A and B are shown apart, each in its own frame.
Chain A
Amino acid sequence: MSALSRDAIRTMMAEVLQAQGKMMPEDDAANLETIGFRSLDFSELALRVEDEIGDELNFDAPELRQIATISDVLDFLEQLQAA
């Protein structure tokens, strides 16, 4: 299956937040801590992406610690799919 688009990943991220009663801001520069998107939420999002593309996206925690904004999340998942 082909890689998910940035927009599709963004929609999935909004769904992860929505399931917790949180809103996805319009601005991709929004800080993850501010919107309440934790590392385990990233993990959930990555697993949802995996389900869609039918492939595993494995990575080390230090890479995850660099992620601070929505844009970083989308960039990282795009990179993982391309790897």
Chain B
Amino acid sequence: MSDKTEPIGPATVVVVSGGSRGLGLAIVEDILAKGAKVAAFARTVTPELEAVAAANPERVHAASVDVTDVKAINAFLKEAESRLGPIDALVNNAAMGQDSLHVHTSPEQIAKIVETNLTAPLLLARAVLRRIMAKGNRGRIVMVTSVCAQRGYSGLVAYSATKGGLDSAMRTLAREMHGRVLVNSVAPGFFASEMSSVLGQTQLDTITRRTPSNRLVEPDNIVPVVSMLLFDDTNINGQVLTVDGGNSI
């Protein structure tokens, strides 16, 4: 085991959930650009992720896995390690959106949001941490959460609860890992994605107007922050880094 007082090194093999499109895919591409390896999964592997995997056969392991399927997740991690080497980092990115008032969201839908956005990321973090610790290694975890965990937005009750829960878990994990694993959250504001596509133009215009930087957040704004938490020696641990153009201040 390495000396605990030494900085944790840059990530070498990173698991990315929901890595087949949008922000997840951008994170996968950035990790590769930094020279690390990626184990990416999503419910559906897109042609874009397939192309990335085909272009980097020695450095990418991609598969179609449902984030809520614990058995499949464990098999994926094992296979990824056999191909790429020991996993030492995780970007917990997969999530499902919501756009319905709480009183009109079915109990089944609430349960699905909690399972996908909170239970599944916790189990994935657990699985990755068990692999890191069993090998006596150290590592890094980044939770992609949301500004919704800090501010109230109509139509996002269950979604916000899961993101707030993940932020809380992140802080506790950072404490629990005693510096052996750096655990942080990146909380994007609303950005153009499939999840925000359900918002009407009026809502998007309102969000933009209330943002001091006067523009919605782009995936390109989030990627460097995730990258810093995966690769740089910042000593940031147990923190939520909000990237929202100042909308929440």
Contact = CB atoms under 8 A, between A and B. Distances in A.
Contacts of B200: 62, 65
Interface in A67-82: none
A9 interface: no
Interface of B: 99-101, 103-106, 109, 154-155, 198, 200
A14 interface: no
Interface of A: 39, 43, 46-47, 56-62, 64-65
Contacts, number: 29
Contact of A61 (B106, B109, B155): B155
A60 B100 contact: yes
Interface residues of chain B: helix, strand, loop or mixed (majority): loop
B103 A61 contact: no
Contacts of A62: 99, 198, 200
Interface residues of chain A: helix, strand, loop or mixed (majority): helix
A29 to B, nearest CB: 22
B99 A60 contact: yes
Contacts of A43: 101, 103-104
A43 B198 CA distance: 19
A59 B200 CA distance: 16
Contacts of B104: 43, 46, 57-59
Given A46-B104, A58-B100, 7 more contacts: A39-B101, A43-B104, A58-B105, A59-B104, A60-B198, A61-B101, A61-B154
